[in-house]
Structure 1
Amino acid sequence: MKKIIGLLIALLPFSFCAKEKNVIVPKSLETKNMEKQGDLEIATFAGGCFWCTEAVFLQLDGVSKVVSGYIGGNTVNPTYNDISTGETGHAEAIEITFDPKKISFGELLEIFFATHDPTTLNRQGADAGTQYRSEIFYHNDNQKQLSQDYIALMTQENTFGKPIVTKISAATKFYVAEDYHQNYYNQNKTQGYCSYVITPKIDKLKKMYQGKLKK
């Protein structure tokens, strides 16, 4: 394992996390050959319903764009109906464009693991199926290494009290989801799923990470 510069913090878990525990959170490694959009970089995460993950990461200072879509499967140009069968192999995921001068990939990892349950295989809450799996899709060797180191540290600390099942895979073709899925939470806050599942998560994010949020 590469030498990691660690920052000791308390990860206060969300309601579905097993227990509260101090863990070492590695900072972002020096990046090389990073996939970029100008001075910006890209991260791709799958952590259950993309309405939830999109809503979380849109709150963060340094994140300029979050796009919901599908990744990790075999079907070309899949639709929501296609991936909902669980037969295409795709995960609901988000593609995050971020400014590493404001927020590091390591910080994105921290929030990714704090805002979903990485111990449930192909499930987040009531959402079940391979499309709801926990997976990191890395864009370069540094993202891969940091993701591996992060999971190894949490495993060593037994952060969740159960094995972490999050997969780490090379990023493949990302298919942008239908328009009505984009910015879904902000346009549908009174909808039942948003009110009962996403809003409490956003409230806890604001409480835990106030210093990382957009002003």
Structure 2
Amino acid sequence: MASTENKKAPQNIQKATFASGCFWCTEAIYQTLKGVTSVTSGYTGGETTNPTYMEICNGDTGHAEAIELEYDPSVVSYDELLLIFFKTHNPTTLNRQGNDVGTQYRSAIFYHNNEQKEKAEAMIKKLNNEEIFDRPIVTHIVPASAFYKAEDYHQNYFNDNTLKPYCAYVIQPKLNKLAKEFTDKIRPELL
């Protein structure tokens, strides 16, 4: 029976890809969620094959800093992932998150199927209609394309560098906000 369960598990796992500024922040947010089984920082949405971080920083690859995650929709839904995406960055600023400026820091949802596309469009319409933000959402909704894993030192960045100033002053406040607003979605060992 265990082998049958193992065969079924991978069928339930789905992918989602988001860009919401610096991928260190986005990675740390999604790593805390129940039902998220993996989070990878990387680059997507551009033209350059196998880009490096230095190429991304120059802003001429077309890629965004992004995360690709795998999740179990029976534990956390795509709608919940979307809501967390919108609530943990400013989706109304074009090509900018805080002090990070450039197209590599754009807000984008890279959908893997039509259902994800439709859910993202519906979420943006709902949030705009409810005037949740003081300006309209400028998040791009585009098909997922090649995703290039970032260099190893970018992976698990917050957890490996919690005492660095960026982690303490930028990432930790986002995690605190997440824990306050989405307590029921946070892994219990992190509360």
TM-score (norm 2): 0.92
Corresponding position of 2:133: 160
User: 1:103 — aligned with what?
Assistant: 76
2 CA distance for matches of 1:52 and 1:112? 11
After superposition, what is the alpha-carbon deviation per residue over 1:52-91, rounded to whole angstroms, capped at 9, x for unaligned? 0000000000001000000000000000001111100000
Task: Name 1:87's counterpart in structure 2.
Answer: 60
1:207 aligns with 2:188: no
Structure with the larger strand share: 1
Q: Measure how far apart 1:37 and its partner are.
A: 4.7
* Structure 2 unmatched ranges of 5 or more: 1-8
- 2:135 & 2:110 partners in 1: Cα distance? 22
SS at match of 1:38: helix
Deviation at 1:38, TM superposition (A): 3.1
Q: How many residues align?
A: 180
Unaligned runs of 5+ in 1: 1-35
Higher alpha-carbon deviation: 68-77 or 156-165 = 156-165
Partner secondary structure for residue 159 of structure 1:
coil
Matched, 1:123 2:92: no
Match of 2:3 in 1: none
Greater helix share, structure number: 2
CA distance in structure 2 between the aligned counterparts of 1:107 and 1:163, rounded to whole angstroms: 20
Partner secondary structure for residue 133 of structure 2: coil
**For residue 146 of structure 1, what is the aligned residue in structure 2?**
119
Classify the secondary structure of the residue corresponding to 1:189. coil
Letter in 2 for 1:134: S
Q: Render the CA deviation track for 1:18-58: whole Å, top value 9, x for unaligned.
A: xxxxxxxxxxxxxxxxxx95320000000000000000000
SS in 2 for 1:89: coil
Deviates more, 1:197-206 or 1:43-52: 197-206
Could you tell which deviates more after superposition, 36-45 or 140-149? 36-45
Greater than 4 Å deviation, 4+ residue runs: none
Percentage of pairs with the same residue: 56
Q: Are 2:29 and 1:52 equivalent residues in the alignment?
A: no
Per the alignment, residue 16 of structure 1 pairs with none
2:28 alignment partner, SS class: helix
Give the whole-Å Cα distance in 2 for the aligned partners of 1:157 and 1:207.
Answer: 21
Q: How does 1:59-74 map to 2 (within 5 A)?
A: 59-74=32-47
1:174 maps to which residue?
147
Offset of 1:164 from its aligned partner?
0.7
Q: Which SS does the other structure have where 2:145 is aligned?
A: coil
Distance in structure 2 (CA, Å) of the matches to 1:182 and 1:176: 9
Deviation (angstroms), 1:155: 1.2
Query: Structure 1: how far apart are the matches of 2:63 and 2:125?
Result: 25
Match of 2:4 in 1: none
